[in-house]
Structure formats: C-alpha cells, structure tokens
Structure 1
C-alpha cells in the first residue's frame, strides 16, 4: 500500500487506550502530523457519536491505529482491544484503517513532549496525542500497515 498517488491525503492517527485515546491528524503533503486533544474512553469504548463528529471535521482519507505489541512480538489483551477498535472504526467510516506497531512510540512521545512544549506548542498536548502524531509520521515514511 503506497500513498504516492499525487493527491495529498489526510490521515488521522489513534493511540488507543482504555481510559483515554491520543489522536492526531496529518497531511501527506507535509508528511507531518499535529496532535489533537485527548479523547475520553470508557473501558476502551469511545463515544462513537462524538468520535465520528471529530472525524467528520477532518475528513481523513485513511486512519492509522497503534497496535500495542509486547517487546517479544506477542499480543496482549490491549492488542486485541486495539484491533477491535480498528475494525469498528473501519466499519463505521467505510475508509481504510491500518494498524502500525506502536512499541516505544508512547515512551518516545513522553521524551519529546517537554521539548515540544518548550518550542511554544500547547501546554495541554499529551504524550498520547504525540504518540498518534508519531504513528502518522511513521505511516508517511514507511507506509506499511497491518490490516486490523
């Protein structure tokens, strides 16, 4: 799957969590993403109506969801729940949804957060939303996803 069709693409990224989900949007023209506010989750389940309203604002061509694998490549309960979220997202939006290995993105995002805020970006930016930015930027660099 490549995204070099010549037309700019808008991509939304989701760093799935059971209590909160990081979100970001990005554009293939710049190859970069920008964090969006955290989205509250109820035991891993979003308020689909609110989520669909946010997605409708950005009109993404596709979505990427982080796949939380263990360091030994095995899957956890959280992996299964993230896959379920990605499948439901694909079904509800009728757009491509890809999963990307998210190991280390949240840790890297926490390390990046301080310098990001020091550059004058929003103080309320969360590590989870920065992780979603990293998923998007990884997609633009590598364009290799896993089907949910």
Structure 2
C-alpha cells in the first residue's frame, strides 16, 4: 500500500510518496505547471499508476480562520477532477482488479512554513528552498495524514 501526497502550487505541484508500511513520507519530485496546476493531472495519474498508489492526499489551503477561500475551492475542483479522471481510467482499464485510489483533502495551513523550517534545519541554504519547498510541503501534508491514520 502506497499513498501519494500532493501540494498544489502555482509554479510547481509537489509530490511525496509513503513507504509501503504507511509510516514515512518522502519527497517524490515536482511537476512544473507554469500557473495552472490542472495541467499536472496527467503526470499525477502516471505516478499513481507507476507507484501503485492506493490513496491520494491533496493539501487543502484553508485560510487561517479555517474558512475556504479561492485557493481551497480550486484545490477541491482539482481533487474532484482527479477523481473523475481516475474513474474514467478505471472504466477504460481491461483489468478487473483495478482499484480506484481514494482521494482525500487535508488542511494544509502552515505546511509551507513547516517545510521551510525543515529545510533550514537540514542546513539547506534558504536560496535553495524554492525548487524543493513544494515537494517538502507535500511530505508534510502526507506525513500528517499518515500520522493521523496511525492515531485512530
């Protein structure tokens, strides 16, 4: 069983994968999207297939007061679009064993701050954060989901 964490950004979509035991999240790269992260869905579908992902965790960028703004609504639309594409892939699949991965949203407030802090603590120069902060944010999102699952 493998889970995929997704951090939707305007320049990059960060990805993270879990280990098969659902204990640890690790960076899995970025998808460069140049302003429209809906373009990342095809590449995310490839990762889901290649890595045999069972569950996709998408960061939901709530506002600090917990309400949903424009970015959160866009993330919900992205997740819904991913679910539709997964359903279509399932219908097109010849395999009767294909399981559609579950897609969940998780509050991602302050994940970028946490990601920057982790990179700083790893002695990564702050001018080197930009290329990796999205995937590190995806790690934080996914690790949060994994930890919550173990706590239940």
Range of TM-score over shorter length: 0.7 to 0.9
Q: Contact between 1:28 and 1:140, CA under 8 Å: does it hold in 2?
A: no
| Greater per-residue helix proportion | 2
In terms of Rg, which structure is larger? Answer: 2
The gaps in structure 2 that reach 5 residues or longer are 87-99
Matched, 1:53 2:53: no
Match of 2:85 in 1: 92
Matched, 1:37 2:29: yes
Aligned partners of 2:65, 2:131: CA distance in 1, in Å? 30
Match of 2:91 in 1: none
SS of structure 1 residue aligned to 2:105: strand
Residues 1-148 of structure 1 aligned to structure 2 (within 5 Å): 9-27=1-19, 29=21, 31-41=23-33, 42-93=35-86, 94-116=100-122, 126-143=132-149
**How far does the alpha carbon of each residue in 1:98-136 deviate from its partner, in whole angstroms, 9 at most, with x for none?**
100000111100110133366xxxx99611111111111
The gaps in structure 1 that reach 5 residues or longer are 1-8
TM-score norm. by structure 1 comes to 0.79
The Cα of 1:38 is off from its aligned counterpart by 1.0
In structure 2, relative to structure 1, the CA distance for the partners of 1:117 and 1:137 (3 Å cut) is: same
Aligned partners of 2:14, 2:103: CA distance in 1, in Å? 16
**How far does the alpha carbon of each residue in 1:84-109 deviate from its partner, in whole angstroms, 9 at most, with x for none?**
11111122223210100000111100
**Aligned CA-pair RMSD:** 2.2
TM-score norm. by structure 2 comes to 0.77
